C-alpha cells in the first residue's frame, strides 16, 4: 500500500460510507495516466474441459496460462506430459509459471477440477480462483497478505452452501500448508474479495458476439477505486500486446479532474440503466449507489429509461436524440446527457467509455474507446469529421 500512497497524483483516504477511496492530490489533465498496476493474481475465466482446447460459448479459446495472450496455432509449450491441456506461449512463460502460478500442486488441482463433474462452469471458475489464491499463500505470502487487505465482506447474496461446497472441494485437494488459517471463513473471505475486486481481462471486441472474459486479475492499487455511475476515470487493458506487463491495468482520466475530487471508475458499462446498476451494486458490492446520476435517475419513470437499457444496442441513435434533448432540457431531468455524447462509444454493440490518449503521447484530442479500441478525434465525435475513426501506428 505504501506505493499507492506515494503516487503523486492521488492519495488514499477513508471516506464515510465508502471505505477507502482515491482522491486527486493535484489537478489531473484529461487522458493523463493515473495508475499502471500489475496483478498479484490472475486466473482463467474459461471453464476447464476434458477436450484438448477449452471452449468459451462453444468457441475455441486458447491462450497462454501464464500471460493470457492469445496463442497462435504453433505454440506447444505444455506444462508436462500428464497435463497437455495447460499451454504456454513461450518457454519463458512456462518456466515463470512453473515457479509461481502453476506449481505442481496447482497443476494437480486443475486436473481434479477438470475431472470433477459436480462442478458447474461457475463453480469451476471460483474453484480456479481459490486454487490460485491458496497457491499465492504458499509462493508469495506478502502478495497473499495484500489480497487479504483488500475490501471484501461476504455479501448477503453469497450462497453459503456453495461456499462450503467449494471449501470442502479445495480441502480435498490438500492445499499447501505453509500458512495458518485454512478454514471455511477464509475461503468465504477470499471469494468475497475476488467478487468485489477482480477485473476481467476481456476477449477482443466483436460487434457480432457477446463479449466474454478471458481471465480475471486482481490489482492491489486499482482495487481502491470506488464506483461512480458517471466516472471521471476509466481503465484500459491491452492483454494481447507484445512485450512485458501485458496484464497490467492502465487507468486514465476521462476529463480534467480538480485537486481534491475523488477518482472513480464505473464497475460496469456506463450505459446500464438505473435498475440494473443498483441491482449489481447491491448484490455484488453490497452498497446502494447515491451518486449524482442515481439521484436524478431514481425519479425517472420506466419509459424514460428505455434509451439507457444495456441492450438497447444503438448508442449512436441515442446520442442523436440526446443532442436534441440537451437543447431542450432546462429542467435538470438529464444533466448528465453530456457524458453520453462525449464519452460513450457509439460503435455498434460496444458500450465502451472514451478517454483521451495521454497528453504525453503528443496527440491532442484523440479519444480511445476502452472496449473496441477505436480512436476518434474530438472533431469526429462532435460530428464534424469522417466517421471511420483514425489510424494510429
Ligand atoms: C473495489 S472496492 C473499492 C475500495 C474500497 N472502498 C476499500 O475500502 O478498499 C469496492 C467496495 O468499495 C465500496 N464502494 C465502492 N464504491 C462505492 C460507492 N459509490 N458508495 C459506497 N461504497 C462504495 C463498496 O463497499 C464496494 O464493495
| Neighbouring C-beta atoms of residue 98, cutoff 10 Å | 17
17 CB near ligand 1 (under 6 Å): yes
DSSP 71: P
pLDDT digits 0-9 by tens, 222-248: 999 999 999 999 999 999 999 999 999
Tell me: the pLDDT tens digits for 165-203? 999 999 999 998 766 789 999 999 999 999 999 999 999
Rg of the chain, C-alpha, whole Å: 22
Residue 266 in contact with ligand 1 by CB distance below 6 A: no
Ligand 1 contacts CB of residue 289 (under 6 A): yes
Q: What angle do CA 153, 159, 165 make, to 5 degrees?
A: 110
- Bridge partner residues of 375 (DSSP): 368
Q: Write out pLDDT tens, residues 311-367.
A: 444 444 555 555 555 444 445 678 889 999 999 999 999 999 999 999 887 777 899
Beta bridge partners of 237: 249
Is the ipTM of this structure higher than 0.85?
yes
Mean pLDDT of the chain: 86
Element (H, E) at 296: helix 292-297
Distance (Å, whole) CA 88 – CA 69: 9
Give tens-digit pLDDT for 86-140. Answer: 889 999 999 999 999 999 999 999 999 999 988 999 999 999 999 999 999 999 9
Q: Which residues of 172-184 are buried (b: 16+ CB within 10 A; e: fewer)?
A: ebebeeeeeebee
Beta bridge partners of 354: 369
- In whole angstroms, what is the distance from residue 286 CA to residue 218 CA? 19
Task: For ligand 1, say whether the CB of 278 is within 6 Å of any of its atoms.
Answer: no
The rounded distance, in Å, linking the Cα atoms of 79 and 189 is: 30
pLDDT tens, residue by residue, 43-55:
999 988 765 555 5
* Most informative mutation of 13, 14, 18 for ligand 1 (most atoms within 8 A of CB): 18
Distance 18 CA to ligand 1 centre (A): 5
Cell of 188: 468465504
Average pLDDT value for residue range 133-160 = 88
Amino acid at each position: 500500500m505504501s506505493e499507492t500512497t506515494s503516487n503523486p497524483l492521488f492519495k488514499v483516504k477513508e471516506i464515510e460510507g465508502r471505505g477507502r477511496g482515491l482522491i486527486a492530490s493535484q489537478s489531473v489533465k484529461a487522458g493523463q495516466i493515473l495508475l499502471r498496476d500489475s496483478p498479484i493474481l490472475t486466473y482463467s475465466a474459461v471453464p476447464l474441459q476434458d477436450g484438448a482446447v477449452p471452449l468459451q460459448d462453444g468457441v475455441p479459446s486458447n491462450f497462454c496460462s501464464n500471460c493470457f495472450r492469445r496463442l497462435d496455432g504453433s505454440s506447444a509449450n505444455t506444462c508436462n506430459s500428464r497435463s497437455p491441456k495447460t499451454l504456454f506461449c513461450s518457454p519463458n512463460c512456462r518456466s515463470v509459471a512453473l515457479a509461481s502460478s502453476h506449481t505442481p500442486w496447482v497443476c494437480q488441482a486443475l486436473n481434479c477440477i477438470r475431472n470433477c463433474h459436480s462442478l458447474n462452469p461457475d463453480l469451476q471458475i471460483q474453484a480456479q480462483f481459490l486454487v490460485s489464491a491458496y497457491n499465492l499463500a504458499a509462493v508469495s505470502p506478502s502478495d497473499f497478505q495484500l489480497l487479504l487487505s483488500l475490501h471484501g465482506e461476504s455479501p448477503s447474496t453469497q450462497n453459503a452452501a456453495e461456499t462450503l461446497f467449494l471449501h470442502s472441494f479445495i480441502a480435498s485437494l490438500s492445499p499447501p500448508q505453509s500458512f495458518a488459517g485454512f478454514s471455511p471463513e477464509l475461503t468465504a473471505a477470499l471469494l468475497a474479495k475476488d467478487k468485489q475486486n477482480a477485473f476481467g481481462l476481456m476477449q477482443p471486441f466483436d460487434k457480432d458476439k457477446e463479449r466474454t472474459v478471458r481471465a480475471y486479475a486482481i490489482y492491489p492499487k486499482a482495487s481502491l477505486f470506488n464506483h461512480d455511475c458517471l466516472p471521471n476515470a476509466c481503465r484500459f487493458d491491452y492483454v494481447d500486446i507484445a512485450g512485458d506487463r501485458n496484464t497490467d491495468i492502465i487507468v486514465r482520466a476521462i476529463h480534467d479532474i480538480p485537486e481534491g475530487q475523488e477518482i472513480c471508475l464505473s464497475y460496469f458499462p456506463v450505459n446500464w440503466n438505473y435498475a440494473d446498476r443498483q441491482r449489481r451494486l447491491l448484490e455484488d458490492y453490497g452498497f446502494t449507489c447515491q451518486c449524482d446520476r442515481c439521484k436524478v435517475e431514481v425519479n425517472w419513470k420506466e419509459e424514460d429509461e428505455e434509451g439507457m437499457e444495456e441492450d438497447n444496442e444503438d448508442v449512436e441513435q441515442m446520442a442523436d436524440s440526446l443532442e436534441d434533448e440537451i437543447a431542450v432540457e432546462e429542467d435538470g431531468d438529464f444533466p448528465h446527457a453530456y457524458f453520453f455524447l462525449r464519452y460513450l462509444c457509439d460503435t455498434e454493440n460496444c458500450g465502451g467509455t472514451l478517454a483521451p490518449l495521454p497528453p504525453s503521447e503528443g496527440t491532442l484530442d484523440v479519444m480511445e474507446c476502452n472496449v473496441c479500441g477505436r480512436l476518434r478525434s474530438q472533431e469526429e465525435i462532435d460530428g464534424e469529421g469522417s466517421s471511420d475513426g483514425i489510424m494510429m501506428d
